[in-house]
Amino acid sequence: MITVTDLHKEYIDGESHVRALRGITMQIDKGEFLSIAGPSGSGKTTLLNLIGCIDTADSGEIILDGDTVTRKHARELVEIRRGKIGFVFQDFNLIPVLTAYENVSLTLSLMGLKETEIKARTMAILREVGLEGMEHRRPAKLSGGQQQRVAVARALVKQPLIVLADEPTANLDSATGESILQMMRGMNERWGTTFIFSTHDTMVMDYARRLCRLHDGLIESDEKRSA
Amino acid sequence: MKTRRRAGRTPLKVFLILAVKNMARYRRRTLITASAIACGVAVFAAVASVMDGFSSESDRNFIDYETGSARIVAPGYWEEREQFPLDMVVEDSSEVIAQLEQEGWRAAGRTEFRGELVIYYDPFPEDGNIPMAFAGVDPDRDPEVFRLKESIEEGRFPAAGEDELIIGRWLADRIGAEIGYGVTIMTRTKDGYYQIMDLEIVGIFNTPNPHVNRNVGYLPLDTADYYLEMEDAVTGVIIRGDERVPGSLDPAPIASLMEDRPVRVMSFSDMNKEFAEIMEMSEQITSLILMLLAVIAIVGISNTMLMAVLEREREIGMLRAMGVRNREIQWMFFFEASGIGFIGAGIGVMLGSLLMWLLVTYGIDYGEMLGDIDLGYRFGEVLYGIWSFSALIQAAITAVIVSGVVSLIPVRRMLKKQVTDCLRHS
Ligand SMILES: Nc1ncnc2c1ncn2[C@@H]1O[C@H](COP(=O)(O)OP(=O)(O)OP(=O)(O)O)[C@@H](O)[C@H]1O
Ligand SMILES: [Mg+2]
């Protein structure tokens, strides 16, 4: 479903050139629960950004659901993101003026769904992430774990092709982080949603069904794991 | 309201709601910026009210006390009128007026001339010699055309055939004149011979037209005719129409009536030309002030929106990652800024209405401010505003649109950034 071929990305910051990705090739199938692991600076975020169509590669190719996104224009990439990709960020990134409910339903409003459908789907996903009764709280009135649950609900409510999560538990204590991962894996198992998340935490890697280790912009190892 | 699903289209309502919520979140900033805009709108409306009041009052004061709606003069007279020539006249004025009256016009002849008002110690406080203008006015017809008679404050209008004079309150106070005092006018006749008239002050008037109050004395037309040896000629026949907008009388029918006579028919705008030029200059100054106000409001709103955009960089990055289009983000900030503009406009309209009400009711008393300076305008010492709803609405709409458009500058700059750069922002 996702084919990454010989992906290169270099950051030029004045005099210094950082080769963040130096030829990544991999295949990701539908329904995978994949962890991209590696030390700081190994290129995890860069890879997720490229797969998520919010950054452009220098060379190489990404084919996403049949679309060669590496050849597409920014305008087309927005549409792909809107329809097919859900993001979960390390620091939640909820909109502070919106309630939990509104943060989630915004995604569906963007797709132009009918009000009744938006309501049904939003309430269902909020129940799923265990936030029933907290729909009308603003992010400031939610704990970190609860905020990340809203973020996961926001990413999943549109039933995306892939969910990209860059260090989703890095800002949470380990117990809360684990519960988030458990929840994500449950969704992956029941709905078959593809998850790609990055981490450098071994506890988090343990949840992965496939672990891909990066080092210095190259794949160091790539292995399937049994639960 | 139902929103039908259209492929690839997002209802803008979503962004409108977001904008309103952000305005509510930054309430203080919203209100401060809106207040700046409100001041701009209110001051604009007040200035427009005074300007309009000023020009319409000035027009009215010209028409009511000096020019009339239209005027018949000898060719070339108007250009020389400051010399008060008595050799460029409208002959047979009785006939001309009769002809006009037959057609339903209200008309009166006036003979305007220059002279010296000579006063002597006792009854006056001291001897004096004041060069000024005089006009012979028809006691019967003049009140039909001008409002001079209505503005008599003390005494009465001069009577036909009598050696009587009325002067303005301002002048009377300066020279210490009272009703019943005798004065002498030294002037020249139509043919250029020296002439002396001994007249009695029978009335003191006070018009809203300061020029008239200060510089002109009036005596009966037939008295002037006799002393100046005019033989029924006058320097002008003035016509008053029923036009609703001051000065809009069409002089064409009068002109065709006067076709066979060697005269010139002047409309109000012909006579008002120089003043209109001054008016235009002061309008330019006003628009400069208004531009300054606009700049202040623009700086206010653009500052606020720049701040809003910068501090929401991550949020913008996140929205873009979610698949919100650049255009939609621009709309969101446009709504927010024009919303602030809308609140500002609302407050501004209320404030502006209050200011207008004060200006219409109490006016600005600038008499003390200016003292004796004659600016050439024709308005009284209290300048009143008029209701100008169009100015209010114009200012309000401008505030809303300009605010919205100004917001696009920082947003567009932000959208040039990479999504990943926005997201990395802390
Ligand atoms: N915008 C940028 N400009 C310059 N260099 C960058 C930029 N983004 C990333 N880099 C560099 O590219 C390399 C890879 O960065 P990346 O963020 O992908 O690593 P990471 O594996 O996500 O690290 P971390 O675990 O710290 O998040 C690093 O050396 C980083 O310093
Ligand atoms: Mg990273």
Task: Quote the pLDDT of residue B242.
Answer: 80
* Number of Cβ within a 10 Å radius of residue B98: 11
Q: Which of B6, B24, B318 sits opposite A93 (nearest CB)?
A: B318
User: Which of B315, B423, B426 is the best mutation test for A, with the most CBs of A within 10 A?
Assistant: B423
Q: Across-strand partners of A215?
A: A218
Please identify among residues 200-219 of chain A the ones whose CB lies closer than 8 Å to any CB of chain B: none
CA distances in angstroms from B306 to A67, A224, B22, B407, listed in the order given: 37, 49, 14, 7
Domain boundaries, chain B: 12-61+276-424, 70-240
CA of B180 to the centre of ligand 1 (A): 102
| Inter-residue long-range contacts of B411-418, CB under 8 Å, 24+ positions, other chains counted | B411/B305, B411/B309, B411/B329, B411/B330, B411/B333, B411/B334, B412/B330, B413/B309, B414/B309, B414/B310, B414/B313, B414/B316, B415/B316, B415/B320, B415/B326, B415/B329, B415/B330, B417/B313, B418/A54, B418/A55
Domain boundaries, chain A: 2-224
Q: 3-state class of B121 per DSSP?
A: strand
Nearest-neighbour CA in chain B from A90: distance (Å): 11
Beta-carbon separation of A93 and B9 below 8 A: no
Task: Quote the pLDDT of residue B323.
Answer: 93
| Domain boundaries A2-224, corresponding CATH code | 3.40.50.300
Q: 3-state class of A216 per DSSP?
A: coil
Hey, what are B41's tokens? 């709108």
Q: Are strands A210-215 and A33-37 parallel, antiparallel or unpaired?
A: parallel
Tell me which residue has its CA closest to atom 27 in ligand 1: A40
Residue range A44-72: mean pLDDT, rounded = 94
Work out the mean pLDDT of chain A and round it to a whole number: 93
Q: Which of A95, A109, A113 sits opposite B315 (nearest CB)?
A: A95
Task: Quote the pLDDT of residue A139.
Answer: 95
| pLDDT digit string (tens) for chain B, length 426 residues | 443 444 456 788 889 999 999 999 889 999 999 999 999 899 888 888 888 887 777 788 888 898 889 999 999 999 998 899 999 999 999 999 999 999 889 999 999 999 999 999 989 999 999 999 999 999 999 999 999 999 999 999 999 999 999 999 999 999 999 999 999 999 999 999 999 999 999 999 999 888 899 999 999 999 999 999 999 999 999 999 887 777 788 888 899 988 889 999 998 888 887 777 777 777 787 788 778 878 887 888 999 999 999 999 999 999 999 999 999 999 999 999 999 999 999 999 999 999 999 998 988 876 666 555 555 556 566 778 888 888 899 889 988 999 999 999 999 999 999 999 999 877
Is the pLDDT at A158 greater than 80, yes or no? yes
Residue range A72-95: mean pLDDT, rounded = 94
Chain B hits for A54, CB-CB cut-off 8 Å, are 320-321, 418-420, 423
Please say whether the beta carbons of B60 and B243 come within 8 A: no
Hey, what are B238's tokens? 């003035």
User: Which of B25, B322, B326, B417 is the best mutation test for A, with the most CBs of A within 10 A?
Assistant: B322
Listed residue (B232, B58, B72, B68) closest to B136, CA to CA: B232
Query: From CA B45, how far away is CA B354, in angstroms rounded?
Result: 10
ipTM of the complex: 0.95
pTM surpassing 0.90?
Answer: no
Which chain B residue is nearest to residue A158, measuring alpha carbons? B322
Query: From CA B334, how far away is CA B81, in angstroms rounded?
Result: 59
Task: Quote the pLDDT of residue B2.
Answer: 40
Query: From CA B333, how far away is CA B18, in angstroms rounded?
Result: 9
CB of B417 within 8 Å of any CB in chain A? Answer: no
